[in-house]
Amino acid sequence: MKGTFLCFSIVVLCLRRMMAAETFFVNCSETVIMGKYGSSVVLPCWLTPNTNAETWEVRWYRPNQFKEPLLFYTDRKVITDYQEIYKNRSSLTQRNPQSTGLKQGDVSLKLDNLGLSDIGIFHCYVSGDTSYDSSTVTLSITALGSMPILSLEHHHDSVNLTCTSSGWFPQPRLLWKFTKEGDVLSELRTPIYTKQGNGLFSIKSWVILSSSVSNTITCSVALSEEKRNVSVNLEPRVSVENSGVWKILFTMALLCVLALIGIGFFLYKKYKGYHAVSRGKMPELQHPIVCIKANMVDLTKGQPTNMEDLRKATVAITLDKEKCKKEHLRFNPHGNLVRDADEAADKYKAHGFPYELCVKGSESFHSGRVYWEVGLKVPNVPPKTSWLIGVAKASYTISDEKSHFTPSNGFWFLCSDPENGLRVNTEPETSPLVDTTPECVGVLLDFDKSELSFYSATDGVHLFTMRVNFQEEVVPLFNPGIGDKAPLHIKNPQVNTQNEAGGSTSPTANVTNQHV
């Protein structure tokens, strides 16, 4: 009897020690974890004392969703199929470089491609052989928006300066600053916030200044300690509306200029013969509208252009299929047509415009004058709204950072996306003042004149010319964007000739039949 009691006592003591040895607590960060929209974040969570959890169960779930965890670790396997929104976005990770993971009880969660739906509380539940515990961690997300865009509208005695930016979360602050003291804002509008389709915010504000102001004004859009600035130097403008003398002088000067132009035109047509644009020369801008200097780049917009003369300088461009993110792009056999792969929209949707999908041309230029056209529309499909067309230095490297694609880094282009519309990558970025949606963009590179010009080739409208001090040879640059059904199509004359020989009556019609 005594022996039986002794054995029973030993068993009870052993069980108590085993249960006591397995007692653990789940600890998660008590501070709110801050993540950036579209990036990755680690939610730290660990066991105390350090306990090997490789054979236990770990369940990460959102409030009231215990049975549908976003990550479930069991039988040494990680399952993320319960919620589609977290599939392939969640994994177990180490909370610091010294951690050995589950072996020492590190059950931290890593989330990729953060979206606004991830904001809030996450539960971590760990179940051992005889005990369990849980804790929570809170995630907050911020989104740093695009560089602000400044636009000026001159009136008789005032200047309306507008600042816009998009892609922010939460709502940012917008401040106007002068570099000189003493100048005051005559009228400052309260910022207007607009919620975008993805939940991020756009902000817009404008200020009305006197035309006589001579100052550098800065628009700053900020989120906590992070901010983006853009500045413009305002030159004083003399108001002719309030001066009769200036009115008379201006009228007389205008009449003299018009008379000289008329006489010169008559003499030229009579003695030299008239040609709209001479072959081998850049079309002259007869009535320039705007000229903006931005880091040694001039932007000039002009009038309709003789496209037939430009097309005499046409060269064939072939897309370089190898030195690009070809796993997210689709090309046709000729190498003159590209669009995004179906899965690219899922990968890049949260990042805005996919600068990483840029494709360069196989040809490079270091002298001369060349021209090419890029189609943005095919029959029965709306024109592309997401694209990039221009040139880059031949030694450029692929990047997904918008801040890298600037003239000072060797990139000059016209681009468009649904959120920001048509714009040129000056420093600061500028929106061309044109009321058109190009269906075909013409590019004229005059290397010897250091000029890069863009045209709406369908209606012959000159969009703008950039004057650039090229330091090395350049290559054509293209980007098909994401989400458009229409491909980006380089209209090479060699390819068009082959298409017609094969029975196609229209190069454009042939595009829809090519496999991309």
Co-location of 168 and 245 in the same domain = no
Task: Give residue 243's pLDDT.
Answer: 47
**pLDDT at 239 exceeding the cut of 50:** no
Select the more confidently predicted residue: 274 or 324: 324
Are 415 and 499 members of one domain?
Answer: yes
Same-domain status, 55 and 178: no
Question: Which two three-digit tokens encode residue 354?
Answer: 């996919």
Q: Are residues 179 and 248 in the same domain?
A: no
CATH code of residue 357? 2.60.120.920
**Phi and psi for 86 in degrees, rounded to 5?**
-105, 0
Name the percent of the chain lying above pLDDT 90.
37
Question: Is there a domain that residue 452 lies in?
Answer: yes
d(Cα 218, Cα 174) in Å, to the nearest integer?
10
CA count, 13 A, side-chain hemisphere, 337 = 23
Q: Are residues 50 and 121 in the same domain?
A: yes
Look at residues 119, 142, 165 and tell me which one is the last residue of a structural domain.
142
pLDDT band per the 50, 70, 90 thresholds, residue 7? low
Q: Report how far Cα 46 is from the mean position of its chain's Cα atoms.
A: 38
Spatial CB neighbours of 43, under 8 Å, sequence gap ≥ 6: 28, 29, 33, 108, 109, 110, 111, 122, 124, 137, 139
The more confident residue out of 359 and 512 is 359
The DSSP H or E segment spanning 253 is helix 244-271
Q: Which two tokens stand for residue 241?
A: 């509306």
Beta-bridge partners for 319: 361
The residue among 374 and 267 whose pLDDT is bigger is 374
Same domain, 385 and 314: yes
DSSP class per residue in 297-361: EEEE---B--HHHHGGGB----B-SSSS-GGGEEE-TTS-EEEE-TTHHHHHGGGSS-GGG-EEB
What average pLDDT does the segment 98-106 reach? 93
127-139 pLDDT, tens digit per residue, is 998 899 999 999 9
Rounded distance between C-alpha atoms, residue 127 and residue 69, angstroms: 14
Q: Within a domain: residue 229?
A: yes
pLDDT band at 298 (very low <50, low <70, confident <90, very high): very low
Residue 346 has pLDDT above 50, yes or no: yes
pTM of the model: 0.46
Number of domains in the chain: 4
pLDDT in tens, 9-36: 555 555 555 544 468 999 999 899 999 9
**In the listed set 234, 264, 299, which residue is the last one of a domain according to the structure?**
234
Same domain, 451 and 380: yes
Q: Domain check: are 172 and 58 in the same one?
A: no
What is the C-alpha to C-alpha distance for residues 25 and 47, in angstroms, rounded to an integer?
6
User: In Å, how far are 298, 358, 359, 397, 406 from 394, measured between CA atoms?
Assistant: 22, 13, 12, 9, 15
The answer on pLDDT for 1 being more than 80 is no
pLDDT at 352: 76
pLDDT surpassing 50 at residue 100: yes
Domain termination residue (choose one: 126, 142, 158): 142
Could you tell me if 334 and 466 lie in one domain?
yes
Distance CA 495, CA 507 (A): 8
User: pLDDT tens digits, residue range 486-496?
Assistant: 899 999 775 44
Q: Are 232 and 242 in contact (CB under 8 A)?
A: no
Q: Which position has the higher pLDDT, 469 or 376?
A: 376
Predicted local distance difference test score (pLDDT) of residue 435: 64
Is residue 496 a part of any domain in this protein? yes
Average pLDDT score, the chain: 79
Q: What is the mean pLDDT of residues 226-243?
A: 66
Q: Which two tokens stand for residue 437?
A: 């949606």
Residue 10 lies in a domain: no
What mean pLDDT comes out for the span 302-306?
64
In which domain, by residue range, is 178 found? 149-234
Mean pLDDT of 224-235: 80
Q: pLDDT of 367-394, one tens digit each?
A: 889 999 999 988 888 888 899 999 999 8
Would residue 17 count as lying in a domain?
Answer: no
Evaluate whether residue 282 is within a structural domain: no
Show the 3-state SS of 400-464: CCHHHCCHHHCEEEEEEECCCEEEECCCCCECCCCCCCCCEEEEEEECCCCEEEEEECCCCEEEE
pLDDT (average), residues 268-279:
39
Q: Could you tell me if 54 and 198 lie in one domain? A: no
| Residue 409 forms part of a structural domain | yes
Is residue 3 in a domain?
no
Tell me how far apart the alpha carbons of residues 351 and 353 are, in angstroms, rounded to a whole number: 6
Strands, sheet with 411-417, edge to edge from the N-terminal-most edge strand? 359-360, 474-479, 387-393, 411-417, 421-424
Please report, for the domain that includes residue 162, its CATH number.
Answer: 2.60.40.10
* Claim to verify: residue 354 and residue 468 sit in the same structural domain: yes
State which amino acid sits at residue 344.
A
Q: Are residues 126 and 192 in the same domain?
A: no
